A and B are shown apart, each in its own frame.
Chain A
Amino acid sequence: DAGVTQSPTHLIKTRGQQVTLRCSPKSGHDTVSWYQQALGQGPQFIFQYYEEEERQRGNFPDRFSGHQFPNYSSELNVNALLLGDSALYLCASSLGQGVTGELFFGEGSRLTVL
């Protein structure tokens, strides 16, 4: 049973560029959440997708956008990259609309912005 998979695992971009990160949820899960984890910090909630719609959003600018596909996989897009966007981006999947803490996390995509 495949868990949550994310790609790419590492990438380097320059300021002003755009990036797309991808996530496939755990088999049977239909909800995907994205988190940003800066170095030495805990994960910060970006947004959550359910039934192909953004259900909730954290305190992140509109440069951060996402999408969920009919197969429940998801993408995170970040435009006009800033140095401060350098972080580990985590995807987490769960089942249903409510979160009971049973999130399953991928290993993350580490983004470096130069």
Chain B
Amino acid sequence: GDSVTQMEGPVTLSEEAFLTINCTYTATGYPSLFWYVQYPGEGLQLLLKATKADDKGSNKGFEATYRKETTSFHLEKGSVQVSDSAVYFCALSDVNRDDKIIFGKGTRLHILP
């Protein structure tokens, strides 16, 4: 079945460092890809998404490009801030088949001032 694999955490960086969180997927169809974020004490919220190959999703300085050839959707940010500390989930959904979203295990990010 479809699945998502993302790098294990925790990831600890200093403020203003460059961030990459790796995500790869396995899918039989043509899924949409997402990054969700869970800030401390809050619910999951959609960070960005891409619905087809070569699309780039972006929000709050974060970016991810849908790479069909490498089945990847890596999350990047050029300069992280302390407020980016959270758990990040890569996810996919094949809306042509069903509506459920399949999540990775999550990567906890700590940003040090």
Knowing A40-B105, A42-B105, the reply to whether A56 touches B43 (Cβ < 8 A) is no
Count how many chain B residues have C-beta atoms less than 8 Å from C-beta atoms of the other chain: 24
- Assess whether B69 is interfacial by the CB under 8 Å rule: no
Bound complex: CA A100 to CA B103 (Å) = 14
- Are B43 and A45 in contact, with the CB atoms below 8 A? no
A43 to B34, CA, bound (A): 14
B44 CB contact (under 8 Å) in A45, A56, A90, A102 = A90
Size band of the A side of the interface? 20 to 34
Interface string of A54-72 (1 = CB under 8 A from B): 0110100000000000000
Q: A42-B89, A56-B100, A58-B100 are in contact. Are A99 and B44 (CB under 8 A)?
A: no
Is B95 a contact of A99 with CB atoms below 8 Å? yes
| B112 interface contact, C-beta 8 A | no
Question: What string of 1s and 0s marks CB contacts (under 8 Å) between B1-23 and chain A?
Answer: 00010000000000000000000
A25 within 8 A of B: no
What would be 8 A-B contacts, judged by CB atoms less than 8 Å apart? Answer: A44-B103, A45-B101, A97-B99, A100-B49, A101-B34, A101-B46, A104-B43, A108-B43
